[in-house]
Structure 1
Amino acid sequence: MKNESTGSISPDNLTDWAQVRAMKDEDIHHDADSPKTTTEDWEGAVMKVAGHEVGTVRTRGRQKTPPKVQLSLRISPDIVEFFRATGDGWQTRMDDALREWVEQHKAA
């Protein structure tokens, strides 16, 4: 049997997904050696790849400021390249420039 993403798989490795989808939580055997984890269990966890630390697990707190609006906007390529060339945070700087323009052009 051929699997496009992983190559050939043997028939004894096949899972009956229809049966898995039909299972209810109470049908699943819960192993005492593998209990469910909580958010507190992951506090301070460190992610490692090949023995090198690549990051820590963090949970995101409540949004401190009102969220920004995500939208699709057409902007001239030279303007985008100018802001991108300023490095990380370029979108925030673009937002700040627009805010400054709005403040200067508000009707008094």
Structure 2
Amino acid sequence: MNKPFTPSIDVNDAEYDENPEWTEEDFARAKPANEVHPPHVVRALVRGPQHAPTKKQVTLRLDPEVLDKFRATGRGWQARMNDVLKAAKV
């Protein structure tokens, strides 16, 4: 039987907060990514402009079981759903 994990520190202690709220001073010291990272890193972080949009964003209501089935197939499930709809030729 596995024992529950018990942290050795108080995770609610502000000293150990891994993601504290930014202060005005933090924002004042902040620099744009292109000033602190090499160009190849910045390019990897930013998606370039889409030259010719090929798809349209929509809002669609689906049955939960349909959505769960596609999501269960893992990453890229939206593209697979698009392929199934395209193949249906409705």
TM-score w.r.t. length of structure 2: 0.49
Greater fraction of residues in helix: 2
Structure label with greater radius of gyration: 1
Greater fraction of residues in strand: 1
